[in-house]
Amino acid sequence: MVGLFLTRSPAISRLNIFPGIYFLATSPTLRLQKHRKHQLKTKTQTFSLTSPPSSSSFHTSRFYSTATRVSSLPKMETSKFDDNNLVVLGIETSCDDTAAAVVRGNGEILSQVISSQADLLAQYGGVAPKQAEEAHSRVIDKVVQEALDRANLTEKDLSAVAVTIGPGLSLCLRVGVRKARKVAGSFNLPIVGVHHMEAHALVARLVEQELSFPFMALLISGGHNIIVLAHELGQYTQLGTTVDDAIGEAFDKTAKWLGLDMRRSGGPAVEELALEGDANSVKFNVPMKHHKDCNFSYAGLKTQVRLAIEAKEIDGKCPVSSATNEDRRNRADIAASFQRVAVLHLEEKCERAIDWALKLEPCIKHMVVSGGVASNQYVRLRLDNIVENKNLKLVCPPPSLCTDNGVMVAWTGLEHFRVGRYDPPPPANEPDDYVFDLRPRWPLGEEYAEGRSEARSLRTARMHPSLTSIIRADSLLQQQTQM
């Protein structure tokens, strides 16, 4: 049974605005728990969504920054700090989606626009950085303008601009950051640098009123597979991560090798085909069975899938739509068996991580599951069982907020902005060759000592200090300067 706190919004309609650009109209969010609701208005329809945690629960210390420097506060009108008057534009370009959204401090989503690189994904079978950068550059102005228009606002109505500064592809991040700084510089707006994975986690606080710190989060996407304990805003302990590939990458490669339609990315295609298959027909080993930690590995499972595909003589270049009945059944069996084992790996590690987390923070009540792969219904159901057995409640944002989007960036920007973590407006005429603070490899939290993996520690070169360590250092500096 799906737990009481699982937020489900199965039908998301994408209305075309420009070729390849979509405005997401969120369908009425189905919620089973009883508590106060806000009426949220989008341009196309009104839907109900629970209010975010009230601002009184936030720390009010100022002079923090999620960017490199600790900045002093620019003069702000006090009304801007009132929840209803706070309005933030969020920009996301870390991977293959160009997204922008405008969100109000009370959790009202005023607009949400996404331009996806579906055709490029299908053409290259994955994200090609240079082509992705060019695609972002082509649409970024339109996407941001559309987000403002849909919200019925202009830049002058904004309180701040939030933008993903990492982790992600540098070439792609740069496009969003340049645009964000241009808007912020031209309209004298503060700017908040957002951690992409923190945004995946915190968007759950926008949809679930009762979700307060501390909580756990399993964040599963194309490039990341992390399980964290969120102590408070910006303070995370990483209980586990992947030692090689993320689960989304395994879904994408499986889809490509099975000859599936990649235009919505590989995950949804595998999920759909898996419905036709027998999940116990192909014997795949569950990764890292004997590792008593909370880390993940999907590279070996990918190899197992490739070998199974070769053994059945499946030609990935032949689209599944043209396959014979038997060939299609073989592909479906592999899709279903892969999905079962990939998710079993998540289940096993989550169970252990919950035990670890409860020792560190016994009052945890919620586990968030977010990131693109969390939009998978099988993933949601299986993890709901695990979480329920441990007496926690699962919080899964609706699928449109699990995959990359601008709302999560705007909301995370709002959360940090409210506690004074932001940078002052950039200069209006920043030179074209200005070197941006981009963080392509940027851990979210500090590693839990018991969970450290030998395999992974080899890969930590050229990593940026974690978001949590930066915030702690800033906080220490503030305390010292105030003494």
Partner whose footprint covers residue 198, from ligand KG4, Zn ion, none (CB < 5 to 8 Å by kind): none
HSE-up of residue 154 (Cα within 13 Å, Cβ side):
3
Task: Give me the 351-390 binding string for Zn ion, x by CB under 5 A, dash otherwise.
Answer: ----------------------------------------
Partner whose footprint covers residue 267, from ligand KG4, Zn ion, none (CB < 5 to 8 Å by kind): ligand KG4
**DSSP H or E run through 357:** helix 325-360
For position 412 contacting ligand KG4 by CB under 6 A, the verdict is: no
* Binds Zn ion (CB under 5 A): choice among 333, 348, 388, 404: 404
Question: Is the Cβ of residue 332 or residue 407 nearer to Zn ion in the bound state?
Answer: 407
Q: How far apart are CA 194 and CA 172, in angstroms?
A: 15
**Span from 113-121, 263-271, 298-306, 438-446 in contact with ligand KG4 (CB under 6 A):** 263-271
3-state secondary structure 443-480: CCCEECHHHCCHHHHCCCCCCCCCHHHHHHHHHHHHHH
For position 403 contacting ligand KG4 by CB under 6 A, the verdict is: yes
Mention every residue, 6+ apart, whose C-beta is less than 8 A from residue 362. none
CB 147 within 8 A of CB 87: no
Pick out residues in 268-307 that bind ligand KG4 (CB under 6 A). Answer: 268, 271
In the sheet with 21-26, reading across from the earlier edge strand, the strands are: 12-16, 21-26, 109-116, 97-104, 87-92, 160-166, 191-195
Select from 192, 183, 175, 182 the least CA-distant residue to 156: 183
Q: How buried is 324 (Cβ within 10 angstroms: 0-12 exposed, 13-18 middle, 19+ buried)?
A: exposed
CB of 411 to Zn ion, least distance (A): 14
Q: How far apart are CA 11 and CA 23, in angstroms?
A: 14
CB of 10 to Zn ion, least distance (A): 20
CB of 267 to ligand KG4, least distance (A): 2
Pick out residues in 89-108 that bind ligand KG4 (CB under 6 A). Answer: 95
CB 53 within 8 A of CB 211: yes
Question: Is the Cβ of residue 107 or residue 248 nearer to Zn ion in the bound state?
Answer: 248
For position 376 contacting ligand KG4 by CB under 6 A, the verdict is: yes
Partner whose footprint covers residue 406, from Zn ion, ligand KG4, none (CB < 5 to 8 Å by kind): none
For position 221 contacting Zn ion by CB under 5 A, the verdict is: yes
Mention every residue, 6+ apart, whose C-beta is less than 8 A from residue 215. 230, 364, 365, 366, 367, 368, 395
**Span from 134-142, 213-221, 385-393, 465-473 in contact with Zn ion (CB under 5 A):** 213-221
* Binds ligand KG4 (CB under 6 A): choice among 259, 372, 406, 451: 372
Partner whose footprint covers residue 265, from Zn ion, ligand KG4, none (CB < 5 to 8 Å by kind): ligand KG4
For position 267 contacting ligand KG4 by CB under 6 A, the verdict is: yes
Q: Indicate the residue type of 394.
A: L
What is the DSSP-derived secondary structure letter of residue 242?
Answer: B
Task: Give me the 199-228 binding string for ligand KG4, x by CB under 6 A, dash otherwise.
Answer: ----------------------xxx-----
Q: Which residues bind ligand KG4 (CB under 6 A)?
A: 95, 221-223, 248, 251-252, 265-268, 271, 371-373, 375-376, 403-404
Q: Which residues bind Zn ion (CB under 5 A)?
A: 221, 404
